[in-house]
Amino acid sequence: MTGHESAGRLGDEFCVPGSSSFTEFLAAYRPELLPMRRPFPDGVRAADDRFPHGTTVLALGYRDGVLIAGDRRATMGNLISQRDLEKVHPADDHTAVAFAGSVGLAVDMVKLYQVELTHFEKVEGTPMTFGAKATRLAGMIRQNLGQAMQGLAVVPLLAGYDVKAAGGARGRIFGFDVAGGAYEKPDFHAEGSGSPYARGALKKLFRPGMSRREAALVALQALYDAADDDSATGGPDINRRIFPIISVITEDGFERLPAQETEELTHEMVEQRRTRPDGPNAAP
């Protein structure tokens, strides 16, 4: 990988004691492979209509763990560049990451983050704690600050099931800013251009102790509200059968809801909107 291997043997850099961070290893030996490198000279800014951007993602806690979901649209300026983008990805067995922002950088960052967690576990012999996972992701975002200031920001959303949490608080959610600040959110959070509308819906509909089905319907309602007011967020495409991505993380690990289940829940939610176009009221 680093260009110094010969005759099937690893280079000397693989035998040098160092950090358990794969990102730091790349930075030391092959920094050009990191996605967080400046693509433009100083003073040059990316045009909004030249690079695809992902939009709304959200997460919320429920009875068995945490749910994370996202719409499917990517835009370039006022154009729809992709209708079926997947913005929710597993990071390890009990962690998932979703993203809003510059799609190309975000996908590379997610892949690097997946390797980062796997590399740490293999080197240290134990999984990283959830707090450390948030800190590592924050550091990767901070390394991208130069590109973010040039218009290529990536804002991820981290959710997971903390197997070491005390007091039964197992589902955890972290939001981030473009400078790498990490903020734990107690019940729910949303990122992306449609996030103000999604957070409004979540604030109205969220309640502790929901079942998986109830939490999935709340997520779908929130994404629908985001698409209703934000043109960059895609609503469910019934004709093309393109529906939001919904995944859950519980004690048993990461699970993406089957396509048929998501489609059935989406049809149920859309049917409810026929009689209440603005969505359900908050529970009394």
Sheet of 57-62, strand order: 188-191, 57-62, 65-70, 245-250, 253-256
- The yes-or-no answer on residue 55 being catalytic is yes
d(CA 141, CA 102): 12
* Residue 80 φ then ψ, to 5°: -85, 115
CB 30 within 8 A of CB 176: no
Task: Name the token pair of 52.
Answer: 């695809």
Distance, CA of 100 to CA of 178 (rounded, Å): 11
Selected catalytic residue, list 55, 56, 95, 262: 55
Strands 253-256 and 245-250: antiparallel
Residue type, 110: V
Q: What is the DSSP string of 177-193?
A: -TT--EEEESSEEEEST
At 66, the amino acid letter reads: V
Q: Which residues are catalytic?
A: 55
